[in-house]
Amino acid sequence: MRDNSLQPSLPQFNSEQDKIKRKFDISISKTDYNYMFSYLEPIPIAASVPKSEEFNPNYEYKVLQVFLPLAENFKSVIISLVEKELFDDLPNNMRASIEAVEVAHHKLKAAMSEGSIKKYIHEVEYLNELIHALAEVPKELESAIQGVARLPKDLIKMVKGLDEVFKEFLKEGFTAFLKNSMYDMLATDDDRDYLAATSTQDYLDLFKTLPSPELLSIKRQSWMPRDDEQEIWQQDWYFGYMQIAGFNTTNLKGVQLSNSHSPEIIVLADLLKKMPITDTVFQQVIGNNELTLSQAADQGLLYVCDYAMMEGLKGSELHEKQRYPHAPIALFFWNKIPPAGYPSTGAMQPVCVQLAQKFDEELAPIYTPNDCMNNQDPLGVKWQIAKAFVQNASAIQHETVAHLGACHLTIEPMIVAANRQLAQSHPLMILLKPHFRFTLPINDGAIHSLIVPGGVVASVLSTSHESSAKLIVDAHEKWRFDQQFPDTLFKHRGVCEQSLPSFPFREDTLDLWESIQDFVEQYLALYYTGDSLLERDRKVTEDYELQNWINEMVNSRCASIKGMQGLVKTDNSEQAYQIQDFNYLVKAVSLIIYTASAQHASVNYAQWPLMSYLPSVSGTLYAKAPTRSEELTMESYLKYLPPLDVALYQATFGYLLSNVQYDKLGHYSDDPRKSYFEDPQVSPLVTEFQMKLNQIELTIHQRNKSRPFPYPFQLPSMVPNSISI
């Protein structure tokens, strides 16, 4: 028998007794869900994680599936470093400890593949055995240090850190991997040269047992430069393609003659004040002596990624080595008939890069692919480095703003507000709950391990802890709710279909946005009923729990959501706003679901495929931007890249976050025989939603056949319902 108290209902239609119960239950919920502002002021986050929000065993099991290959790769990389330094000097007991790790690991791996009902128990048992074996390795290293004079202290600390993080994994769960203990090798008197890459092969060697990320397995096509000329990640078409189908597509904006349609569009005259490229240089790069910059802007062919938000940010120091964030500007041209080395159907062609917000002929020159501005770059090394700085800025903005800020920290206060104002039986709460699942514990782990001194940000990003926090807060203060609707966002940025014909992320994500809106509209119409829109609007207005939620959402002392322009201002100081429009409610709820699912998937699941090979994109760069007069060789590129321990950290972080997926969009029940929704009216709507998503899956696969390489990050099957990792 179903619990009638969980049957979906709007509060205004309940009996007085049920209204009293709902009110009481909400008051209890308010004791569990509260805000904290002091951590990243003024951004509200949850003060604690209620027990009902914690990870369940199914989730922890999925994480364990990812943990195994991570543990194997760590073991292999670290032992490889040990053997590389002192293989011949290893004492027998040290080798025995390593063999014990191998045996325990193989037991765990075998348990993972067995099909018995005791599978999970065996995995935990063998995981403990593996951890015990790993714990013996640092002990043997300690005893070996006296007999092996060449043993670097860093390696002892590395293996000790490995031991510690495994212990933390058992105690805290997978968020232990967000900590820096594994890499806390605070070398003082030892040389760390053994962690410095001598070639890009050293970064490939970090994937000892993990599958190569997709970037390294892109199928080479006939129009691409040959292998002996450039790796794919070095090619200009790839750099341009990253802006529309990469790990961070949020920065590209149109460059036009005016921004009368949207202030987000970049005015050409303003851009040229900062980066004074001439028509002559532009024409030499694109291979067209007739098209001017003004004409290209007028025709909607110019685009820019301007990282002005990075200007003035301080770099961080790790292991007594300084890292250097920059504020680059990268100009692109949509070439309908691109030159050799680009797909013939049209391409985003890089025109130039300036590595500062203000041009300086010596310190901040304008770099081009063909060195037509005479920056002493005959080999194209400075051009490759300039692209690396753009990728670095994009990675920093990705982790701080596009990923953590615009997804994780945006949804979190909405979860708190919903639980404080909506009864569990409210139809809206029932709908949103799967899209809120596990976000609070994930964020709690991130807040306490990710953006803290010694956490991931401090290790793998060039910006200091304070500068990273500033990026997050500044972006939060500018963020406006209604500007995030995908169907208007691309227009505001000047990258809609009418301007830019090819934009894989836009094409795929708009399909998801439309299907989410359709489902939300049909679902809400089941409860805000009426023969006319006016009647639906009236029921929305009369829903006092909904009104309470909306007011908590926009209250600066609560969720502090800015820019909900579809609300109506009232004269009531206790409820300053009302939502009176059913259609606006549909869009608002759809945006919440979209942000938690499709938008987050686009930035999260690209990390391992596109961000784990450090020569292609690194969160940290270890040298300042080159000057015009500086002479560089092909080997100079390596001095900008991080040590191998930092590279391993970035790659591992990406693998972890990109390979845990609890559920998939539109699939709400863990049990295929039982619907998540108690209301039988919802089942056909869910079925229709899933059918649309299946069709979108096929459409995206078809699109991917004609793309330079597949863009999989909006495939519905690869999009979870919630920010659950």
pLDDT, tens digit, 9 for 90 and up, residues 523-576: 999 999 999 999 999 999 999 999 999 999 999 999 999 999 999 999 998 899
- The DSSP bridge pattern shows strands 366-367 and 347-354 to be antiparallel
Instruction: Kindly state whether residue 675 falls inside one of the protein's structural domains.
Output: no
244 closest CA partner among 606, 492, 593: 606
Provide the 3-class DSSP secondary structure of residue 266.
Answer: strand
Q: How confident is the model at residue 522 (pLDDT cuts 50, 70, 90)?
A: very high
**What's residue 369's pLDDT?**
98
- Pick the residue with more confidence: 44 or 77? 44
Instruction: Quick: pLDDT tens for 467-521.
Output: 999 999 999 999 999 999 999 999 999 999 999 999 999 999 999 999 999 999 9
Which of 334, 368, 391 is at the close of a domain? 391
Burial of 385 (0-12, 13-18, 19+ CB in 10 A): buried
In the predicted structure, residue 389 carries a pLDDT above the cut 70: yes
Instruction: Kindly state whether residue 339 falls inside one of the protein's structural domains.
Output: yes
**Bond preceding residue 42 cis, omega within 30 of 0:** yes
Shared-domain flag, residues 176 and 239: no
Distance CA 119, CA 610 (A): 33
Distance CA 134, CA 182 (A): 13
The mean pLDDT of the chain is 88
Q: How confident is the model at residue 64 (pLDDT cuts 50, 70, 90)?
A: confident
Q: How confident is the model at residue 184 (pLDDT cuts 50, 70, 90)?
A: very low
Distance CA 367, CA 5 (A): 66
Instruction: Quick: pLDDT tens for 255-312.
Output: 999 988 889 999 999 999 999 999 999 999 999 999 999 999 999 999 999 999 999 9
423: β partners: none
CB atoms inside a 10 Å sphere around CB 669: 13
SS (H, E, C) 148-180: CCCCCHHHHHHHHHHHHHHHHHHHHCHHHHHEC
Shared-domain flag, residues 143 and 231: no
Provide the 3-class DSSP secondary structure of residue 339.
Answer: coil
H-helix or E-strand spanning residue 255: strand 253-256
How confident is the model over 34-57, as a mean pLDDT? 95
- Pick the residue with more confidence: 176 or 81? 81
Instruction: Kindly state whether residue 215 falls inside one of the protein's structural domains.
Output: no
Q: How confident is the model at residue 453 (pLDDT cuts 50, 70, 90)?
A: confident
Q: Is 35 left (phi over 0), alpha (psi -120 to 50) or beta?
A: beta
Which of 146, 169, 190 is at the close of a domain? 190
Q: How confident is the model at residue 194 (pLDDT cuts 50, 70, 90)?
A: low
Instruction: Quick: pLDDT tens for 67-92.
Output: 778 877 877 887 676 666 554 445 55
Instruction: Kindly state whether residue 267 falls inside one of the protein's structural domains.
Output: yes
Q: CB-based contacts of 639: which residues, under 8 Å, 6+ apart?
A: 622, 623
In the predicted structure, residue 189 carries a pLDDT above the cut 60: no
In the predicted structure, residue 717 carries a pLDDT above the cut 90: yes
Query: Taking a C-beta distance cutoff of 8 angstroms, is the pair 597, 720 a contact?
Result: yes
Q: Percent of the chain beyond pLDDT 70?
A: 83
**What's residue 183's pLDDT?**
45
Provide the 3-class DSSP secondary structure of residue 115.
Answer: coil
Query: Taking a C-beta distance cutoff of 8 angstroms, is the pair 331, 255 a contact?
Result: yes
Distance CA 628, CA 373 (A): 10
Q: How confident is the model at residue 446 (pLDDT cuts 50, 70, 90)?
A: confident
Shared-domain flag, residues 156 and 291: no
265: CATH: 3.10.450.60
Q: Determine the angle formed by the axes of helices 119-144 and 153-172, rounding to 10 degrees.
A: 150
Provide the 3-class DSSP secondary structure of residue 114.
Answer: coil
Instruction: Kindly state whether residue 205 falls inside one of the protein's structural domains.
Output: no
Shared-domain flag, residues 245 and 375: yes
How confident is the model over 104-115, as a mean pLDDT? 61
How confident is the model over 626-654, as a mean pLDDT? 93
What values do phi and psi take at 120, rounded to 5? -65, -40
How confident is the model over 577-597, as a mean pLDDT? 99
Q: CB-based contacts of 478: which residues, under 8 Å, 6+ apart?
A: none
CA 620 to chain centre: 16
Shared-domain flag, residues 172 and 240: no
- Print burial letters for 12-24: b (CB count within 10 Å at least 16), e (below 16): eeeeeebbeebee
Shared-domain flag, residues 265 and 334: yes
Shared-domain flag, residues 243 and 186: no
Contacts 24+ apart (CB under 8 A), 482-487: 482/563, 482/564, 482/565, 482/566, 483/563, 484/591, 484/595, 485/587, 485/591, 486/510, 486/513, 486/594, 487/513
Query: Taking a C-beta distance cutoff of 8 angstroms, is the pair 325, 313 a contact?
Result: yes
Record the tokens describing residue 365, joined without a space: 């020159």
The tally of domains found in the chain comes to: 2
How confident is the model over 416-441, as a mean pLDDT? 98
- Pick the residue with more confidence: 121 or 334? 334
Its pTM stands at 0.90
Q: How confident is the model at residue 431 (pLDDT cuts 50, 70, 90)?
A: very high
Beta strand spans in 537-611 (E): 568-569, 577-578
Instruction: Quick: pLDDT tens for 551-566.
Output: 999 999 999 999 999 9
**What's residue 653's pLDDT?**
87
Q: Which residue has the tokens 């850190």?
A: 161
569: β partners: 577
Shared-domain flag, residues 145 and 279: no
Q: CB-based contacts of 359: which residues, under 8 Å, 6+ apart?
A: 274, 275, 276, 365, 366
Q: Determine the angle formed by the axes of helices 409-421 and 16-32, rounding to 10 degrees.
A: 140
Shared-domain flag, residues 237 and 384: yes
Instruction: Kindly state whether residue 89 falls inside one of the protein's structural domains.
Output: yes
**What's residue 145's pLDDT?**
39
Distance CA 112, CA 202 (A): 30
Distance CA 650, CA 668 (A): 32
In the predicted structure, residue 1 carries a pLDDT above the cut 50: no
Record the tokens describing residue 682, joined without a space: 């919802």
**What's residue 195's pLDDT?**
81
Shared-domain flag, residues 78 and 120: yes
Distance CA 103, CA 113 (A): 16
How confident is the model over 637-644, as a mean pLDDT? 95
Question: What is the domain extent for residue 137?
Answer: 57-190
How far CA 28 is from CA of 47, 50, 357, in Å, comes to 16, 12, 52
- Print burial letters for 543-561: b (CB count within 10 Å at least 16), e (below 16): bebbbbbbbbbbbeebbbb
Query: Taking a C-beta distance cutoff of 8 angstroms, is the pair 278, 366 a contact?
Result: no
Distance CA 722, CA 707 (A): 28
**What's residue 144's pLDDT?**
43
Which of 165, 190, 215 is at the close of a domain? 190
- Pick the residue with more confidence: 150 or 212? 212
Shared-domain flag, residues 157 and 106: yes
Q: How confident is the model at residue 448 (pLDDT cuts 50, 70, 90)?
A: confident
Q: How confident is the model at residue 152 (pLDDT cuts 50, 70, 90)?
A: very low
Shared-domain flag, residues 134 and 277: no
How confident is the model over 153-182, as a mean pLDDT? 54
Instruction: Kindly state whether residue 273 falls inside one of the protein's structural domains.
Output: yes
Instruction: Kindly state whether residue 182 falls inside one of the protein's structural domains.
Output: yes
Q: Percent of the chain beyond pLDDT 90?
A: 73
